[in-house]
Structure 1
Amino acid sequence: MTPLLFAASLSTDGKIAIGVGAVLFIILFFKLLVGFLKFCLRHPILFIILLLCGGLGFAFHFLLAGIVVLAILGGGLVFFALDQFNQ
């Protein structure tokens, strides 16, 4: 119940920043999935070696963490920019 109250009490700038961060994450996540599929289909031998050695999962999670960081930074920059106009 508390997260719902927190989301309802956000300012308009906060809601816009969260929306921008979510949209940025979704776009980058699907670009990551498409890029991984292209990589796997273009380099089947390297894909099998990475899959057997565990490097494929590490690379995917490393890039996914980068996407999360970029989405948070994007949302934070939007919130910072919108918050400056209120003062």
Structure 2
Amino acid sequence: MSNAAKVGILVGVLIFIVLFFKLIGGLFRFFLRHPIWFIILLAVGGIGLFFSVAVGGIVIAAVVGGGLIFTIMGGGD
């Protein structure tokens, strides 16, 4: 595995970790500030849907970020 691939994977993992914890913190703060919304979304399953879509977006951002770094470093000849 080339250095570009290692750095690209590292950047992708770091992007995922940072955005994932920002998502968890944001959801926690939102539901502490708006308990009625928390109860409504919990009852109708909106929390799971939002979380799944948001994690999917985070994965896409991590893959694009890692791939971009990989390409910039010359690994994608």
- After TM superposition, the score normalised by the length of structure 2 is 0.95
Question: What is the count of residue pairs matched by the alignment?
Answer: 77
Structure 2: gaps spanning 5 or more residues: none
Q: Name which one, 1 or 2, has greater alpha-carbon Rg.
A: 1
Q: RMSD of the alignment, in Å?
A: 1.5
Structure 1: gaps spanning 5 or more residues: 1-9
Deviations along 1:9-61, whole A, 9 cap, x unmatched? x1010000000000110000000000010011011001100000001110011
Compare relative contact order (CA 8 Å, sep 6+) and give the higher one, 1 or 2: 2
Which residue matches 1:74?
Answer: 65
Which residue matches 1:39?
Answer: 30
Q: Is residue 65 from structure 1 mapped to residue 56 from structure 2 by the alignment?
A: yes
- Cα distance in 1 between the residues matched to 2:29 and 2:44: 20
- After TM superposition, the score normalised by the length of structure 1 is 0.84
Q: 2:9 aligns with which of 7, 10, 18?
A: 18
Give the deviation of 1:68 after TM superposition.
Answer: 0.3
